[in-house]
């Protein structure tokens, strides 16, 4: 992209490169707003999943193909996108200033669609063996585990999907879950139960990951040492909401940005949507919907606050 004028004030800057940001951008562009999308990585979390089967109109697609379809749609509307990470946002008189390491951007309104970071177990060995047997992304690392034994830690639908994906390539997958029964969507739960390569160990936490140069075993909370070649941690995520902290945007106890049904935060001009916000159920489709609602609400807001709308 050509150099941007640092003094230009955009109608809307959308922070994020995932489905929520792109959903918001597509609608905002169609409302003829002057917008810029800034994302640390393009595609967001969904790009790392091997298969998406629950987005209306698309029976089955890989995560990477899915986000390419989003990109094509965005490109068809000539929506400007830049790769950068916004570190802080400050309020000026009638607009906001967004700072990255090397640049600054200005906008009358912002939609925060920064998603989340993977949650860590916080146990000995996790950090030491990251990238050497500890992974947070099956589709990124599966090929390293051909015919090996791996553990997926977690009991959500995402954990079940990761286990099913890994089972295509590895010798054995153990799902280690601290609860009584995994909480996957019934369709994925059935697939897990019917898969001979997958075994579930319920009511179990892991307390340590051990090895030498690579992972060799995990320790259960009953003291048992269990041999594995890889550990895939899928225990949820932490909202990436730090960027709005200095603006006085209200967060809840989980650090999710509090929004209303118009995707508005408590700070006029600041909107939020998707995994970073306080919805009880977080999926690509729900993030896209909240992003679209934000675009509509922002259009309305600009009409009231900017003369030329």
Ligand X SMILES: Cc1cc2nc3c(=O)[nH]c(=O)nc-3n(C[C@H](O)[C@H](O)[C@H](O)COP(=O)(O)OP(=O)(O)OC[C@H]3O[C@@H](n4cnc5c(N)ncnc54)[C@H](O)[C@@H]3O)c2cc1C
Closer residue to ligand X, CB minimum distance, 33 or 46: 46
Q: Are residues 52 and 139 in contact, defined by beta-carbon separation less than 8 angstroms?
A: no
**Cα(53)–Cα(36) distance, integer angstroms:** 30
Torsion (CA) 181, 186, 188, 193 in degrees, nearest 10 = 50
- Determine the size of the site formed for ligand X (CB under 6 A): 36
Within positions 30 to 89, which residues make up the interface with ligand X, using CB under 6 A?
38-41, 44-46, 49, 52, 54-55, 85-86
Q: What is the closest distance, in whole angstroms, from the C-beta atom of residue 33 to ligand X in the complex?
A: 19
Q: Does 99 bind ligand X (CB under 6 A)?
A: no
Query: Is 134:231 a contact under the CB 8 Å cutoff?
Result: yes
Long-range contacts of 236-239 (CB under 8 A, 24+ apart): 236/119, 236/154, 236/156, 237/45, 237/115, 237/116, 237/117, 237/118, 237/119, 237/275, 238/116, 238/117, 238/118, 238/119, 239/114, 239/115, 239/116, 239/275, 239/276, 239/277
Q: Segment contacting ligand X (CB under 6 A): 1-9, 113-121, 127-135, 256-264?
A: 113-121
**Per-residue binding letters, 162-201, with ligand X (x by CB under 6 A):** x---------------------------------------
Q: Does 155 bind ligand X (CB under 6 A)?
A: no
Binders of ligand X in range 280-299 (CB under 6 A): 282-285, 287
Among 12, 13, 14, 15, binds ligand X (CB under 6 A): 15
Minimum Å distance from CB 237 to ligand X? 7
Q: Please tell me whether residue 40 adopts helix, strand or coil conformation.
A: coil
The piece of 10-18, 201-209, 225-233, 244-252 that touches ligand X (CB under 6 A) is: 10-18
Q: How many residues does the chain have?
A: 309
CB atoms within 10 A of CB 292: 19
Binding site for ligand X (CB under 6 A): 15-21, 38-41, 44-46, 49, 52, 54-55, 85-86, 113-116, 158, 161-162, 240, 243, 274-275, 282-285, 287
């Amino acid at each position: 992209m050509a150099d941007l004028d640092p003094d230009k004030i955009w109608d809307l800057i959308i922070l994020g490169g995932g489905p929520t940001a792109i959903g918001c951008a597509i609608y905002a562009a169609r409302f003829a707003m002057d917008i810029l999308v800034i994302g640390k990585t393009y595609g967001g979390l969904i790009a790392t999943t091997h298969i998406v089967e629950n987005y209306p109109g698309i029976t089955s697609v890989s995560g990477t193909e899915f986000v390419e379809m989003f990109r094509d749609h965005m490109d068809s509307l000539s929506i400007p996108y830049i790769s950068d990470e916004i570190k802080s946002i400050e309020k000026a008189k009638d607009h906001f200033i967004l700072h990255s390491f090397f640049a600054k951007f200005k906008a009358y309104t912002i939609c925060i669609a920064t998603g989340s970071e993977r949650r860590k177990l916080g146990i000995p060995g996790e950090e030491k063996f990251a990238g050497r047997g500890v992974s947070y992304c099956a589709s990124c690392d599966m090929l390293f585990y051909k015919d090996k034994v791996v553990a997926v830690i977690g009991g959500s639908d995402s954990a079940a999907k990761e286990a099913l994906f890994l089972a295509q390539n590895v010798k054995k997958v153990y799902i280690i879950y601290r609860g009584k029964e995994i909480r996957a969507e019934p369709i994925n739960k059935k697939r897990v139960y019917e898969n001979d390569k997958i075994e579930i160990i319920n009511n179990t936490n892991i307390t340590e990951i051990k090895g030498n140069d690579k992972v060799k075993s995990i320790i259960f909370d009953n003291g048992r040492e269990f041999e594995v070649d890889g550990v895939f941690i899928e225990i949820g995520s932490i909202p990436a909401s730090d960027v709005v902290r200095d603006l006085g945007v209200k967060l809840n106890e989980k650090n999710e940005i509090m929004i209303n049904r118009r995707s508005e935060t408590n700070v006029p001009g600041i909107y939020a949507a998707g995994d970073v916000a306080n919805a009880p159920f977080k999926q690509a489709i729900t993030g896209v919907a909240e992003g679209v609602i934000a675009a509509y609400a922002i259009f309305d807001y600009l009409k009231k606050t900017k003369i030329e709308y």
